Chains A and B, each alone.
Chain A
């Protein structure tokens, strides 16, 4: 049963087409990443399915249409920024969410522990750092044990420690079996957390599927030698090297999955080429993302 079905969804802002015939189907238990550069229509999509933006065309349906307008009661979501009453503390803000969700009175201690805000639960929201605000927002999405949680750029604007903390929490949420929808422009984040991904650009869907099927496992190898020309000639003859780029002092090669640095070192040595530099790493994800978005443009 699809949790969410989006059919031919479009949204125009004046002459600008922010969303162009988007179709998506999200199944129960998916951890679904919506990936796209800034301005690609991620937030517009989430805004429409959360009832705050009106689509120009198309339709969407939560939970097979069983709950109608009340479907948002079963969804915990943050859009763009954490939005709370600045003059109320964490507990009172969470209590307002609880009140709207129609959940019985409860203590928020456990929830605030989860996002590490227990010590500041009596402080007003406007005294929080951005990271704390973001963590409170994540806590708020958990109230009422919703079936679906939605995060929009959850690590945007955070420092490295904040990013690590938030990703940690998101990982735990994803592991809990809930359906998660997450919009992000950071591939690495989506790859770490999500099971499925949809890539959008200019409001159009470019690719969708499981993370493994969309993002390849190719390696990048940086290979250097004192005789770069000879090295390039040799590398060109190897079938499992897909692409060679010249960099300063070394060549950057796309390597088919399954080949290792040691193998490269050995065959180069057998050819009488001494390597001065050899680094193997996972493909640069941002680069790959650019490739996908440019290729299907």
Chain B
């Protein structure tokens, strides 16, 4: 495992694309949350609209920073998941790695360990920033209150693995950079939301549409304002309801396994 991670590090540590995406993630993730400071200043007293207290103090900071992470991981880290595969296809270095002596199994494991390491790092980063912001905004708190976060750390980790394994999956199956990135963006932003709406309104009005893969992964760290929807009656015809934590955790874990399994099958069975 260490040998494969060292190899990936040698390949990508000075790569312009991965460095840029990584730096943007490191910079934007902790700073984006402060947009909320400006955004919700005037409306602080309105009902249903979050106050600074809701956002920056424990336990709210875990949800709001997690939702911030939802976007930056989708955008910056998900691309890294795609890029570390498609760039090797494009440069034909995947071929050369195999010719040089790696097995296909090892090549896949190197990429899997990479997204695992990135996700662990991103989760640590999230945890540290959440505690730092929470601690500096909450007047009085106990150790217990800091960690009273409804499995936020686990959910954040799964969310990161979810986007990155989806990226790997598209990289390994589509192989062409441009097409893989286009598919990633259009699937997450348009195809799946549209498909869910069409199924919901034309075929079957059931919450089953909320179990689509990207929606399940998003619902690990959803927009905290959507939690309002939980208070609405169950029979209201809408798709905006969130999955419960156990639902999101179990379905996302299954999707991650499926993405990885298809990636593995693609690299081991096809010509390279």
Q: Which residues of A contact B (CB under 8 A)?
A: 47, 50-54, 69-70, 72-73, 75, 77-79, 81, 83-88, 92, 95-97, 99-102, 140
Contact = CB atoms under 8 A, between A and B. Distances in A.
Nearest to A76: B100
B31 interface: no
Given A52-B271, A81-B92, A100 B10 contact: no
Given A54-B271, A99-B6, A100-B102, A87 B16 contact: yes
A79 B269 contact: no
Contact of B271 (A53, A73, A101): A53
Interface of B: 3, 6-7, 10-11, 14-16, 91-93, 95-104, 269-272
Contacts, number: 71
Nearest to A79: B99
Contacts of B91: 83-86
A85 B99 CA distance: 15
Contacts of B271: 47, 52-54
A52 B14 contact: no
Contact of B95 (A52, A86, A88): A52
Given A83-B91, A87-B16, A96-B7, 12 more contacts: A50-B98, A50-B99, A53-B271, A54-B270, A72-B100, A83-B93, A84-B93, A85-B91, A96-B11, A97-B100, A99-B3, A100-B7
B99 A51 contact: yes
Contact of B14 (A47, A51, A78, A88): A88
B101 A101 contact: yes
B93 A85 contact: yes
Contact of A72 (B10, B93, B99, B272): B99
B11 A52 contact: no
Contacts of A95: 10
Contacts of B7: 96, 99-100
B10 A99 contact: yes
Contacts of B97: 100
Residue of B6, B96, B97, B272 with highest tally of chain A CB at under 10 A? B96
B94 to A, nearest CB: 9
Residue of B15, B97, B269, B271 with highest tally of chain A CB at under 10 A? B271
Nearest to B6: A99
Nearest to A44: B271
A52 B100 CA distance: 11
Nearest to A47: B271
Contacts of A50: 98-99
Q: Which 7 A-B pairs have the closest CB atoms?
A: A83-B92, A83-B96, A73-B101, A52-B272, A72-B101, A100-B100, A53-B271
Nearest to B272: A52
A153 to B, nearest CB: 15
A220 to B, nearest CB: 40
A102 B106 CA distance: 13
Contacts of A87: 14-16
Contacts of A97: 100
A154 to B, nearest CB: 15
A275 to B, nearest CB: 55
Nearest to B106: A100
Nearest to A99: B7
A99 B99 CA distance: 13
A47 B92 CA distance: 13
A92 B11 CA distance: 9
Contacts of B98: 50-52, 72
A71 to B, nearest CB: 9
Contacts of A72: 98-101
Residue of A75, A87, A140 with highest tally of chain B CB at under 10 A? A87
A143 to B, nearest CB: 8
A190 to B, nearest CB: 22
Contacts of B3: 99, 102
Contacts of B92: 81, 83
A189 to B, nearest CB: 22
A51 B102 CA distance: 10
B101 A100 contact: yes
Nearest to B7: A99
B63 to A, nearest CB: 39
A69 B103 contact: yes
A96 B270 CA distance: 24
Contacts of B102: 100
Contacts of A81: 92
A75 B99 CA distance: 8
B21 to A, nearest CB: 15
Contacts of A53: 271-272
B203 to A, nearest CB: 37
A77 B104 CA distance: 17
B99 A77 contact: yes
A84 B96 contact: yes
A84 B94 CA distance: 10
A53 B3 CA distance: 26
A86 B102 CA distance: 20
Contacts of B100: 72, 77, 97, 100-101, 140
A50 B99 CA distance: 6
A140 B91 CA distance: 16
